[in-house]
Structure 1
Amino acid sequence: MQFSRELILQQAPDDASAKAAQGLRNVAKWQSLGANELALWGECKGSGSKPYQVQIDLSALAFKCSCPSRKFPCKHGLALALIRAEQSSAFTDAELPVWVGEWLEGRQQRAEKQEQKKATATARKSPEDAALPTKRLERMAAGLDELERWLQDQVAQGLAGLLGNEGALERLAARMIDAQLPGVAYRLRQLAGVPGSGMIDGVDWPLRLLGAFGRLQLMIDGFRRFDSLPPDARADLSQALGLPLSKDEVLGQGELCRDEWQVLGQRVEEEERLWLRRVWLLGLNTGRVALVQDFAHGSQRFEQVFLTGSVIAAELAFYPGAHPQRALLTNSPELRERAIEAPPSPVRVALAELAAALAANPWQPLRPLRVDDGVPERTPDHGWVLRVPGQDADGAMPLRLDERDGWVLCALAGGRPLRLFGEWHLGVDGCHLRPLTAWQERALVWAVQENAE
Structure 2
Amino acid sequence: MEVRLTREQVLALAPDAASSKAGAGLATDGKWGLLGADAEALWGECQGSGSKPYQTQVDLAGLVSRCSCPSRKFPCKHGLALLLLYAAGNPRCVPGTRPAWVDEWMQGRRDRAARKEAAAEAAANAPPPDPQVQAAAAAKREASRWSKMEAGAGELQRWIADQFRQGLANLGNGFEQDAQRMSARMVDAQAPGLAALLDHAVSGGGRDLPSLARLGERLGLLQLLTQAVPRVESFSAARQADLRAALGWPVDRETVLREGEALQDAWFVQGQQLIEHPGNLTERRVWLHGVASGRAALLQDYSHGGRGWDQQWRTGYSHSGTVHFHAGTVPLRAVASEVQGGTASAVPADDTFDVAAQACADNPWLPQVPMRLSAVTVAHDGQRCWLQHGEGTLALQLAPMPGWSLMAFAGGHPLCLMGEWDGQVLHPLSAWNAQGEQWERSSA
Name which of structure 1's ranges 23-32 and 138-147 shifts more when overlaid on structure 2: 23-32
Matched, 1:182 2:192: yes
Using the TM superposition, give the Cα deviation of residue 355 of structure 1 relative to its aligned residue in structure 2, in angstroms. 1.6
Matched, 1:219 2:225: yes
Residue of structure 2 equivalent to 1:416: 413
Structure 1: how far apart are the matches of 2:179 and 2:371? Answer: 31
Using the TM superposition, give the Cα deviation of residue 240 of structure 1 relative to its aligned residue in structure 2, in angstroms. 0.8
Out of 181, 190, 202, the residue aligned to residue 171 of structure 1 is: 181
In percent, how many aligned pairs have the same letter? 31
Report the AA paired with residue 69 of structure 1.
C
Structure 2: how far apart are the matches of 1:175 and 1:420? Answer: 40
Map 1:340-355 to 2 at 5 A. 340-346=345-351, 350-355=352-357
Shift of the 307–131 alpha-carbon distance from structure 1 to 2, 3 Å rule, reads same
Shift of the 149–439 alpha-carbon distance from structure 1 to 2, 3 Å rule, reads same
SS at match of 1:443: coil
The answer to whether the 8 Å contact 2:65/2:308 transfers is: no
Map 1:22-421 to 2 at 5 A. 22-26=25-29, 42-44=42-44, 46=46, 52-54=56-58, 62-65=63-66, 67-71=67-71, 72=73, 73-80=75-82, 82=84, 133-166=142-175, 167-196=177-206, 198=208, 204-272=210-278, 273-331=280-338, 333-337=339-343, 340-346=345-351, 350-380=352-382, 383-388=384-389, 395-421=392-418
Quick one: higher RCO (CA 8 Å, sep 6+), 1 or 2? 1
Structure 1: how far apart are the matches of 2:158 and 2:23? Answer: 57
Gaps of at least 5 residues in structure 1 are none
Using the TM superposition, give the Cα deviation of residue 318 of structure 1 relative to its aligned residue in structure 2, in angstroms. 1.2
Residue of structure 2 equivalent to 1:438: 431
Q: Per-residue displacement from partner, 1:289-332 (whole Å, max 9, x unpaired)?
A: 2111111112423343222222222222211111111111234x
Structure 1: how far apart are the matches of 2:372 and 2:428? Answer: 9
Shift of the 142–90 alpha-carbon distance from structure 1 to 2, 3 Å rule, reads closer
Using the TM superposition, give the Cα deviation of residue 353 of structure 1 relative to its aligned residue in structure 2, in angstroms. 0.8
Structure 1: how far apart are the matches of 2:143 and 2:45? Answer: 61
Gaps of at least 5 residues in structure 2 are 1-5
Residue of structure 1 equivalent to 2:3: none
Using the TM superposition, give the Cα deviation of residue 156 of structure 1 relative to its aligned residue in structure 2, in angstroms. 2.3
Structure 1: how far apart are the matches of 2:385 and 2:9? Answer: 31
SS at match of 1:286: coil
Using the TM superposition, give the Cα deviation of residue 161 of structure 1 relative to its aligned residue in structure 2, in angstroms. 2.7
Using the TM superposition, give the Cα deviation of residue 133 of structure 1 relative to its aligned residue in structure 2, in angstroms. 4.8
Structure 1: how far apart are the matches of 2:42 and 2:272? Answer: 27
Using the TM superposition, give the Cα deviation of residue 280 of structure 1 relative to its aligned residue in structure 2, in angstroms. 1.4
Shift of the 372–385 alpha-carbon distance from structure 1 to 2, 3 Å rule, reads same
Q: Per-residue displacement from partner, 1:336-358 (whole Å, max 9, x unpaired)?
A: 43x62543233xxx221112111
The answer to whether the 8 Å contact 1:314/1:329 transfers is: yes
Using the TM superposition, give the Cα deviation of residue 274 of structure 1 relative to its aligned residue in structure 2, in angstroms. 1.0
Using the TM superposition, give the Cα deviation of residue 398 of structure 1 relative to its aligned residue in structure 2, in angstroms. 0.6
The answer to whether the 8 Å contact 1:278/1:291 transfers is: yes
Shift of the 353–191 alpha-carbon distance from structure 1 to 2, 3 Å rule, reads same
Using the TM superposition, give the Cα deviation of residue 134 of structure 1 relative to its aligned residue in structure 2, in angstroms. 4.4
The answer to whether the 8 Å contact 1:268/1:450 transfers is: no
* Number of aligned residue pairs: 413
The answer to whether the 8 Å contact 1:170/1:192 transfers is: no
